[in-house]
Amino acid sequence: MLHDSVIERCGTDIVTGVLPAGYRIGTDEAAARLGVSRTVVREAVRVLESMGLVTVRQRVGITVAPEDQWSPFDARILRWRLAGSDAHRHLQDLAELRMETEPLAARLAARHATAQHGAALTAAVAAMATAARSADWPALAAWDAEFHRIVLTASGNRLIMGLGPIVADAAVARVTPDPTIDRCSDPAMISVHGTVAAAIQAGEPDAAERAMRTIIDVGRVTAVAADRRTAA
């Protein structure tokens, strides 16, 4: 739909800083620039406002909101952040959040996971190993995201489950074919995923938590290394 393309264009411009906080967007101007009707622009603005990206006031109009008003867990905002120039900083933020939540999820999963969860985790680890051997980075990212999604689901905690989209975006953005900055495709790191899966299947909360903490810490180090490379 037309308003979806307007949301995509304007949302990307706001999150990447092309349209800075405080910038006023005129409905007529936006309609002309994007080649759509004023009605389409208004529909898109309602969605952007619900995401916290803009404010709409009488006699003031549409204004780009500051970053601290954006919805931090909106899947589209997360995707736009990861596509921007500060993607590595955002990955560090994600790693810090994940360090506090995913080890807990692994601990809970060791208590609550079903046999189906265990089988799915084992299959995901095997698929990650296959993708890494064939240098299929998109597949590796997808299976990495699936592995962590299963752990979150197996935790049985609905709030933790809600982090699934964040984890998926982080996994997809983090995996690269450059082993100098990304150890996530290292066979040893994939083996640690296997350790998490085995601990969850064996009902060993401490072991599951420790192994998951190792995985997330490696992801944090990867983000820092990539950020330093970009700055250099």
Mean pLDDT value of segment 38-49: 93
Pick 69 or 60 by higher pLDDT: 69
Q: CB neighbours (10 Å) of residue 48?
A: 22
Cα dihedral sign, 12-97-150-143: positive
Quote the pLDDT of residue 1: 64
Measuring CA to CA, which residue among 176, 194, 172 is closest to residue 185? 176
Pick 63 or 170 by higher pLDDT: 63
Residue that has been written with the tokens 């985790």 in this structure: 121
Mean pLDDT value of segment 46-60: 92
Mean pLDDT value of segment 167-186: 57
- What would the pLDDT profile of 78-135 be if each residue is shown by its tens digit? 888 877 777 777 777 887 888 889 999 999 999 999 999 999 999 999 999 999 999 8
Measured CA to CA, the distance from residue 39 to residue 66 in angstroms comes to 25
HSE-up of residue 225 (Cα within 13 Å, Cβ side): 15
Quote the pLDDT of residue 232: 46
HSE-up of residue 22 (Cα within 13 Å, Cβ side): 0
Q: In this structure, what are the phi and psi dihedrals at residue 196, rounded to the nearest 5 degrees?
A: -60, -45
pLDDT class for 229, splitting at 50, 70, 90?
very low
State the angle between helix axes of 164-174 and 87-112 in degrees (0 to 180), rounded to the nearest 10: 130
Quote the pLDDT of residue 50: 96
- The domain segmentation of the chain, as residue ranges, is 2-69, 86-231
Predicted confidence (pLDDT) at residue 169 exceeds the cutoff of 70: no
Cα dihedral sign, 176-219-162-157: positive
What 3-state DSSP class applies to 104? helix
Quote the pLDDT of residue 172: 62
Pick 89 or 228 by higher pLDDT: 89
Quote the pLDDT of residue 186: 80
Flag the least confident range among 132-136, 192-196, 207-211. Answer: 132-136
Could you report how far apart the first and last alpha carbons of the chain are, in Å? Answer: 41
Query: How distant, in Å, are the alpha carbons of 111, 142, 148, 149 from that of 202?
Result: 9, 25, 18, 19
Quote the pLDDT of residue 174: 57
Q: According to the CATH classification, is domain 86-231 in 1.20.120.530?
A: yes
Quote the pLDDT of residue 152: 95
Task: Please tell me whether the overall predicted TM-score, pTM, comes out greater than 0.75 for this model.
Answer: no
Residue that has been written with the tokens 């979806």 in this structure: 4
Contact 141, 175 (CB under 8 A): yes
Tokens of 135: 């240098």
Contact 40, 3 (CB under 8 A): yes
Class for the domain spanning 2-69: mainly alpha
Tokens of 213: 């903490």
